[in-house]
């Protein structure tokens, strides 16, 4: 059997180069090695308040970006999570086998909860819904950025616990990280990961940002007190700029060292900006073409949901049978 890959992105705000280099770009490269399912996880997005109109627009925007980035809809399924109700159903079933202590340990929950005035239960249950996304399709491989590794690990723990309570049911998923770019840092503060929600103007490069803006953001990026690149003593800001360059160009470590050693920071930034623009511009052009035809996008999303629903439903049915809850005779 061909192994299955599953991953997802939240439609909350602007996708940035961290999402691309840590996740989406990697999916594009590996999609044909697997049977591939890529989700737009709108039910995850609402674990913190989203303006309904913005959420609706963001779901379509992300579907367009998936296609523009090179997800091949003839091969890979693009699925809006809420259109396959089995995601929510399995999440509840898994909630019942997940100890609260496991969820209390999640670093992302702790960080997000600290930033909210009132913490919804959904934010706490968030990793269980993510485990459901993965286990619903018996995914073998989950390509994510570094910040999601703890959640994939939790999905494994939940699967193991379910299997030991009710018998072998779930496949154990493995994480697959991008070789370079699994953790892109904020350009204004290279000690914090680049995120969709940070508010600083110079924090991230959005995948749909125009070239001028990309140049401006990268030219202002925080570096360190050296004036030229030294790969052995560089600070996190320079390391991050080099990681962005390497991830976009696919250069080897040797090429990077030979080319950048001794380069002044102003020139380094110019080169990083130009490499970023060169990679994003063709994608942005395709994005404009794709989103000019909303019916095309709807068709792709409908086909994705239709293709995966039978697999999802059969997992839920099996889980219910295993747990002993009511399943009508066939
Ligand atoms: P999300 O929407 O926060 O991020 C989507 C993907 O982008 C990666 N990523 C990064 N990679 C490198 N550098 C960064 N600065 C950076 N920021 C984000 C993330 O690791 C992720 O791979 N919970 C998930 C979505 C999800 C999911 C799933 C993923 C829901 N169900 C099932 C895999 C499998 C999330 O919020 O990702």
Q: To test the ligand 1 pocket, which listed residue (13, 20, 23, 247) has its Cβ within 8 A of the most ligand atoms?
A: 23
Is the model's pLDDT at 330 over the cut of 80? no
Is the model's pLDDT at 61 over the cut of 80? yes
Any idea what the CATH number is for the domain that residue 240 is in? 1.10.240.10
The full DSSP string for 47-101 is TS---HHHHHHHHHHHHHHHHHHT--TTTSEEEEGGGSTHHHHHHHHHHTTS-HH
Same domain, 276 and 299: no
Nearest residue CA, atom 33 of ligand 1?
7
Query: Residue 242: which pLDDT band, with cuts at 50, 70 and 90?
Result: very high
Is the model's pLDDT at 135 over the cut of 80? yes
Q: Considering its fold, how many domains does the chain have in total?
A: 2
Nearest residue CA, atom 18 of ligand 1?
19
Is the model's pLDDT at 327 over the cut of 90? no
What tokens were used for 221? 């990026």
Query: Residue 115: which pLDDT band, with cuts at 50, 70 and 90?
Result: confident
Predicted local distance difference test score (pLDDT) of residue 197: 87
Identify whether the C-beta of residue 63 lies closer than 8 Å to the C-beta of residue 304. Answer: no
The full DSSP string for 198-266 is ---TTS--BTT--HHHHHHHHHT----S-SB--TTT--HHHHHHHHHHHHHH---HHHHHHHHTT-BHH
Query: Residue 118: which pLDDT band, with cuts at 50, 70 and 90?
Result: confident
Query: 182 in a domain, yes or no?
Result: no
- CA 64/CA 102 separation, integer angstroms: 35
Same domain, 25 and 54: yes
Query: Residue 83: which pLDDT band, with cuts at 50, 70 and 90?
Result: very high
- What's 171's DSSP letter? P
How much distance in Å is there from the Cα of 146 to the middle of ligand 1?
A: 8
Which element (helix H / strand E) includes 176?
A: strand 174-176
Same domain, 229 and 303: no
How much distance in Å is there from the Cα of 139 to the middle of ligand 1?
A: 16
State which residues form the domain around 79. 4-177+293-323
pTM for this model (two decimals): 0.97
Using a pLDDT cut of 90, give the percent of the chain over it: 92
216 is annotated as an active-site residue: no
Same domain, 36 and 66: yes
Predicted local distance difference test score (pLDDT) of residue 329: 80
Mean pLDDT over the full length of the chain: 96
Is the model's pLDDT at 220 over the cut of 80? yes
Same domain, 148 and 224: no
Is the model's pLDDT at 315 over the cut of 80? yes
Query: 205 in a domain, yes or no?
Result: no
Is the model's pLDDT at 35 over the cut of 90? yes
Nearest residue CA, atom 34 of ligand 1?
7
How much distance in Å is there from the Cα of 194 to the middle of ligand 1?
A: 11
Same domain, 149 and 11: yes
Predicted local distance difference test score (pLDDT) of residue 27: 97
Query: 191 in a domain, yes or no?
Result: no
């Amino acid at each position: 059997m061909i192994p299955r890959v599953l991953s997802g992105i939240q439609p909350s705000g602007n996708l940035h180069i961290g999402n691309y280099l840590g996740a989406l770009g990697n999916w594009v490269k590996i999609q044909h090695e697997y049977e591939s399912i890529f989700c737009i996880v709108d039910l995850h997005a609402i674990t913190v308040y989203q303006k309904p109109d913005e959420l609706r627009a963001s779901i379509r925007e992300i579907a367009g970006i998936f296609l523009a980035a090179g997800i091949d809809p003839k091969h890979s399924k693009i699925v809006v999570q809420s259109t396959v109700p089995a995601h929510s159903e399995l999440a509840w079933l898994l909630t019942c086998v997940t100890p609260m202590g496991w969820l209390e340990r999640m670093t992302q929950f702790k960080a997000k909860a600290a930033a909210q005035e009132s913490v919804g239960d959904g934010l706490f249950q968030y990793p269980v819904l993510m485990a459901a996304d993965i286990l619903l399709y018996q995914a073998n491989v989950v390509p994510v950025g570094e910040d999601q590794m703890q959640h994939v690990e939790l999905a494994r723990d939940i699967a193991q616990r379910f299997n030991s309570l009710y018998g072998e049911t779930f496949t154990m998923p493995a994480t697959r990280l991008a070789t370079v770019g699994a953790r892109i840092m904020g350009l204004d503060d290279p000690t914090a990961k680049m995120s969709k929600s940070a508010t600083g103007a110079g924090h991230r490069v959005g995948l749909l940002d125009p070239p001028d803006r990309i140049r401006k953001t990268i030219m202002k990026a925080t570096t360190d007190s050296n004036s030229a690149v030294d790969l052995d003593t560089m600070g996190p800001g320079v390391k991050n700029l080099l990681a962005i360059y390497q991830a976009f160009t696919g250069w080897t470590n040797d090429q990077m060292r030979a080319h950048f050693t001794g380069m002044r920071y102003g020139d380094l930034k110019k080169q990083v900006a130009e490499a970023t623009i060169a990679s994003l511009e063709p994608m942005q052009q395709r994005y404009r073409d794709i989103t000019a035809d909303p019916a095309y996008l709807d068709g792709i999303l409908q086909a994705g949901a239709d293709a995966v629903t039978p697999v999802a439903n059969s997992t839920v049915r099996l889980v219910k049978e295993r747990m002993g809850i009511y399943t009508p005779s066939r």
